[in-house]
Amino acid sequence: MLFKKLQLLSGLLLLAMLLPLSPRLLAEPTSPCQFSVRVESERQHDAAGSHNDTRVSQQFYALLDGLAAKVNCTVQPIALPAGRAIKMLEQGKLDVMVGMSETVERAKYSYFVGPHHSERMVVFGSRRIADSVTDLKQLLALDGVISITEGAYYGPEWQQLLQDNPALQSRLFAASGNQQKLAMLVSGRVMASLEDEAIVDELLKRDDLKSQYRKLFVIHDNPVYFAFSRQSVNQALLLQLQQQWQLMQASGEVDRIRQQLPKALP
């Protein structure tokens, strides 16, 4: 709630500053362009469903579509594994990724526009795990593999654990995306998975999953952004994207898009 209030306040302040100004003071429109954006690869396991079909995921891309249209651009979804997509973003072979945490390392090759979502990372695991397991150290004391998404950021505590315990890597399955990560869980190949709570809440509406899995505890929360490649997006286009996003927030368009029934990805 605080996140949404701060977004609304900042948007209204920006709108108050921009509206009295001449349109010439806003960035000039660009020529038509196309943004390539990473989407999840194909379904891995029927029981895990499709990450692309979740309401949260579809809202991310609907918001990106809306923002791109404001700067005279379209969006081209490309199915890619997470790790490969991050490398392509760094090289300028991919223009944008959604749902990206802002880190010092990523800022070397990305411009962050947003945020467009407040991500709360939770441990999602089997109901066989005891209720007494309420933090990462207790979880890691159990036998079993944990699935993560390759290249994902799970907060400072997780980063510190990886740094202090190099052997922890042998306990992890680095999935190519959320679909594969959840497929590993529902197939019984891992005991727990690290996932955005909003996605988990959608999954737990399904009786077949609710009877076997649950949220264990929160490990981190932070805002996430559209990450545009520094190699393929110039400063003029970046300025337009930043301005238009703020205007979309201030006008209520962002909230309207979120409330609309999502459509399937192309």
The DSSP annotation for 81-110 comes to -HHHHHHHHHHTSS-EEEEEEP-TTGGGTE
Higher per-residue pLDDT: 198 or 46: 198
Tens of pLDDT, residues 138-156: 999 999 999 999 999 999 9
Measure the CA–CA gap between 16 and 35, rounded to whole angstroms.
Answer: 30
261 has a pLDDT exceeding 70: no
How deeply is 15 buried, as exposed, middle or buried, from its count of CB atoms within 10 A (0-12, 13-18, 19+)? middle
pLDDT at residue 56, rounded to an integer: 85
- Chain centroid, CA 9 distance in Å: 23
pLDDT of residue 266: 39
Mean pLDDT is lowest, of 3-7, 75-79, 88-92, 157-161, for: 3-7
The CATH number of the domain covering residues in 2-119+223-259 = 3.40.190.10
- pLDDT exceeds cutoff 70 at 8: no
> What is the location of CATH 3.40.190.10 in the chain?
2-119+223-259, 120-221
What pLDDT is attached to residue 180?
86
Topology (CATH level 3) of domain 120-221: D-Maltodextrin-Binding Protein; domain 2 (3.40.190)
For the stretch 203-209, contacts whose Cβ atoms lie closer than 8 Å and that sit 24 or more positions apart, written own/partner, are 203/49, 203/124, 206/49, 208/47, 209/47
pLDDT score, position 15: 47
Q: CA dist 157 to 72, 203, 216, 218, Å?
A: 41, 26, 16, 11
pLDDT of residue 202: 87
Residue 128: HSE in the Cβ half-sphere, 13 Å Cα cutoff = 9
- Buried b / exposed e over 117-134, threshold 16 CB at 10 Å, is bbbbbbbbbbeebeeebe
Q: What pLDDT is recorded for position 23?
A: 39
Residue the block writes with tokens 């695991």:
125
